[in-house]
Amino acid sequence: DQQVKQNSPSLSVQEGRISILNCDYTNSMFDYFLWYKKYPAEGPTFLISISSIKDKNEDGRFTVFLNKSAKHLSLHIVPSQPGDSAVYFCAAKDWRDTDKLIFGTGTRLQVFP
Amino acid sequence: SQTIHQWPATLVQPVGSPLSLECTVEGTSNPNLYWYRQAAGRGLQLLFYSVGIGQISSEVPQNLSASRPQDRQFILSSKKLLLSDSGFYLCAWSAGQGVGYTFGSGTRLTVV
């Protein structure tokens, strides 16, 4: 039962353009969402988060949008840079179980020159 | 500042051999500790988590076990490895209360 889904396993974007990574969830009890970035042979690092009481959070080139009615969130990277090439994981927390994060399957982003 | 150490970085083990992966956290007390696995083509799967010494919650029935003998030490073990245990194992810690995780650098386990 995959509660957090990232349906695009990979995405290729030209440098300078916008990258949009999508994430869908099924659990209406999720109240906090996070994006992590992972390079090969390294642990994931926190990128940006959003609470369910908001619909947008921005941090520099990274913006996360949350559509609760559609149970959908997206990560926008503008402009994309080659160093952004990595695997991106969406994660969510259920307010009833604050100790655990549920991760999606990840999307591999490649930014080419 | 808090740091998390995980070792070894890579490990090649024969089928049927035992396993012990260790994770330690510095600079904090009473952290929540987690073991995740990233298998080929799959996402991050939560294996075990612990909110205190000796307290282990298992998320997925499997060939692995976890222990927390000290406040900032988390160990992942197996008595007999299977081929399907191959993957990238990640330890993480959090302060709890819904705060995000900090991950270790991971262990690439290959069972041959």
Distance CA A1, CA A100 (A): 16
Q: What is the distance in angstroms between the Cα of B16 and the nearest Cα belonging to chain A?
A: 25
Q: Which amino acid is at A57?
A: N
Which chain A residue has its CA at the smallest distance from B107's CA? A41
User: How high is the mean pLDDT of chain A?
Assistant: 94
CATH classification of the domain holding A76: 2.60.40.10
b/e burial code for range B66-96 (CB count within 10 A of at least 16 → b): bbbeeebebbbebeebeeebbbbbbbbbbee
Q: List pLDDT tens digits, range A79-101.
A: 999 999 999 999 999 888 767 88
Nearest C-alpha neighbor of A102 from the set A10, A26, A19, A40: A26
CATH classification of the domain holding B62: 2.60.40.10
The band of B9, judged by pLDDT with boundaries at 50, 70 and 90, is very high
Domain range spanning residue B10?
3-111
User: Has residue B61 got a pLDDT over 70?
Assistant: no
A113 belongs to a structural domain: no
A29 belongs to a structural domain: yes
Distance CA B88, CA B10 (A): 9
Q: Is B106 in contact with A102 (Cβ distance < 8 A)?
A: no
The band of B82, judged by pLDDT with boundaries at 50, 70 and 90, is very high
A83 belongs to a structural domain: yes
Domains: count for chain A? 1
Domains: count for chain B? 1
Token reading at A110: 């490649």
The band of B100, judged by pLDDT with boundaries at 50, 70 and 90, is confident
Q: Which amino acid is at B17?
A: S
A44 belongs to a structural domain: yes
Mutate to test the interface with B, among A29, A45, A103 (most CBs of B within 10 A): A103
Nearest C-alpha neighbor of A45 from the set A1, A95, A87: A87
Q: Is B29 on the interface with A (CB under 8 A)?
A: no
> In this predicted structure, what is the pLDDT of residue B79?
95
Q: List pLDDT tens digits, range B17-51.
A: 999 999 999 999 899 999 999 876 678 889 999 99
Rounded to 5 degrees, φ, ψ at B46 are -75, 125
Domain range spanning residue A9?
4-108
